[in-house]
Chain A
Amino acid sequence: MVGDDFGFYIDPQRCIGCRACVGACAECGTHKGRPMIHLDEIDRLVSTQTTPTVCMHCEDPICAQVCPSDAIKRSEDGVVHSSQKPRCIGCQNCELSCPFGVPIVFSGLEQMMKCDLCYDRTSEGHKPMCATVCPSQALLFVPKHQISAMRQNQPLNEFTIGTLKVRTRTALMVPDPGLPLHLDAALLMVGGGF
């Protein structure tokens, strides 16, 4: 059980693209040898900016709703786990439907794996691998009451896509957390990037 008083905070603007998180993630016991964190370049032609993505652990996970084999479960502590091995049939519904592009389906293995907050560590009181090694604190796992003192930006847990609202356990750091963050595909079309 992951303590309810701890929060996971992502801050893409602090990412320096060192890939320490990717290496550390592969050490996690629940998906040994396979990194589940994504480290993406925003637009390599115009910027060196990179962004790390871990699972946002939605309150009502869309990946679980679209899973035909009922293999994706959210535990009481709000952590959405990788698909249950006996049930997963590798259909990729979760991979294609996740609002944040998190799950990975390994074809051949017929299994979906994703960031599960390093459950083997966090359930025993340790930090997730990525947050432990991130040198710029783009990935931060700290008690919730500490975060407001640590950052000028504040955690935001509510996102909108069109009219769909998604609430998450993992938070993104923004200056005005009162307003849900609107994920608008138009940002991708206008030669976005930093």
Chain B
Amino acid sequence: MRLLDQLDLEPRPLIRAALSTAALGALVALGSRGGRWLDPALLGYLLATLFACFGVSYRYWSWLERPATDMYFQDTLRRFLSPRVLLTLPKLMLLALDQIFLQRFIEKRSVKRWGAHALIAWGCLLGFSVTIPLVFGWVRFTSAGLDPNRYEAWLFGFPAGSFPLGSPVAFITFHILDLAAFMVIAGCTLAFIRRLHDEGDAATQRFDLDLLPLLVLIAVSVTGLLLTVSEKWLGGRNFTTIAFMHELTVIVMLLSLPFGKLFHIVQRPAQLGVTLYKADGEAEGRLPCKGCGALFIRANQRRDLEVLFKRLDLDGARHSPSVHHLDLCPKCKRRLMALAQNQRLGGSFDPFHDVPIYAEPVADPTTFRS
């Protein structure tokens, strides 16, 4: 425990991360038929992936332990453990398409940002969808029997079809990672250009958080493309050196996953849970502000925020036993600041503060009647 304290590590997320990594290790062993289908050339990638799994899991479980995150996590958990989940599934699929795959909320933030992000995200997804099964030994290619001109694909150690070399299927299979690399390079370049010209980003961005991940992704993609260049046009010259450089850059990227900006990839699905939570709240109805009476806060969020305030030791923010600060809408909170200043000033800046008003009835200006 003292060691954990010194390293600033939490025991519960640590155990959960170890279990998650062990589960992934078991899946790798199972899918590769006890390791027999693992490619020895990819073992470095496998070790880095397992480390990344441990690091990402640790940070993810730690993140879920934050009281505010836990508020939404518990709601999502309840939703998935209830029979209602079957009714929610179609909506969840549509939301995942809109928010995770098409990322239309980024398009609404900025079309330029969306273009760059979509190329990077889809390029990375495409790359990972090919490389992860290869590294885990779930997918492998061999020559089909004694025929050197046919390639056979194996899925979890079972034959999954073959194709002749030189066929369109072979071309796509061998070059799909090149396509992913081009997408990532194009996306990162667009992101760099945007960041150079956007004064807001220029003021707030940090090299380690915002620029370094782009540089690492470009390095991975360029070294990956160089492998194809060496194999196609240089007769395999320097292939081993380039392969080593590529492995090095990929391992750096995998090891940085838990620490840097790319962690948002595993955070983003939380948006689906929040969208469903908000929809539930709309169905339940909004509560009125206790200052002005305007409907503003969803009933479920009001309840959960009060619990959250207690957990965060903020529950003292009560004006009376029946009025919590959460019961005031943002506008009333802003008005309250000015009213409190006015009270402190004794209304002194109101020139009519002490002047009694003996107003004569004013004729109604909207009518000619006296």
A residues near B, CB below 8 A?
12-13, 28-32, 38, 40, 42-43, 47, 49, 51, 53, 62, 65-70, 81, 85-87, 89-93, 95-102, 108-111, 116, 119-120, 123-124, 153, 161-164, 172-176, 181-189, 192-194
Contact = CB atoms under 8 A, between A and B. Distances in A.
Contacts of A119: 200, 203-204
Interface string B191-211: 000000011101110000000
B344 interface: yes
B333 A98 contact: yes
B199 A188 contact: no
B296 to A, nearest CB: 8
B238 interface: no
Given A188-B328, A188-B335, A31 B317 contact: no
A58 B292 CA distance: 26
The 5 A-B residue pairs with the shortest CB-CB distance in the complex, in nearest-first order: A101-B330, A101-B333, A163-B316, A29-B199, A51-B338
Contacts of B264: 86-87
Contacts of A66: 68, 305, 308-309, 312
A72 to B, nearest CB: 10
A12 B337 contact: yes
A184 B312 CA distance: 21
A193 B105 CA distance: 40
B72 interface: yes
Contacts of A188: 291-292, 328, 332, 335-336, 339
Contacts of A51: 334-335, 337-338
Contact of B331 (A67, A101, A161): A101
**DSSP majority for the A interface?**
loop
Given A172-B337, A188-B292, 9 more contacts: A30-B204, A31-B200, A86-B264, A90-B105, A153-B345, A164-B325, A172-B341, A184-B340, A189-B291
Contacts, number: 206
Given A68-B72, A89-B271, A108-B108, A185 B319 contact: yes
A157 to B, nearest CB: 13
B340 A187 contact: yes
Contact of B305 (A90, A96, A108): A96
Interface in B231-285: 261, 264, 267-268, 270-271, 274, 277-278
Given A30-B200, A86-B264, A90-B271, A42 B319 contact: no
A182 B261 CA distance: 40
A93 B305 contact: yes
Interface residues of B, number: 66
A97 B291 contact: no
B249 to A, nearest CB: 22
B297 interface: yes
B310 interface: no
Contact of B342 (A13, A90, A97): A13
B329 to A, nearest CB: 7
Nearest to A122: B203
A96 B326 contact: yes
A89 B350 CA distance: 43
B59 to A, nearest CB: 10
A53 B312 contact: no
Contacts of A186: 319-320
A116 B204 CA distance: 10
A146 to B, nearest CB: 21
Interface in B174-228: 198-200, 202-204
Given A29-B199, A110-B271, A99 B69 contact: no
A162 to B, nearest CB: 4
B79 interface: no
Interface string B301-329: 10001001100101011111001011111
Given A69-B69, A194-B342, A162 B200 contact: no
Nearest to A173: B341
B274 A175 contact: no
B203 to A, nearest CB: 4
A121 B39 CA distance: 54
A85 B109 contact: yes
Contact of B339 (A42, A95, A101): A42
B198 A29 contact: yes
Given A97-B326, A185-B290, A176 B344 contact: yes
Given A65-B312, A109-B105, A120-B202, A89 B330 contact: no
Contacts of B268: 86, 89
B341 A181 contact: yes
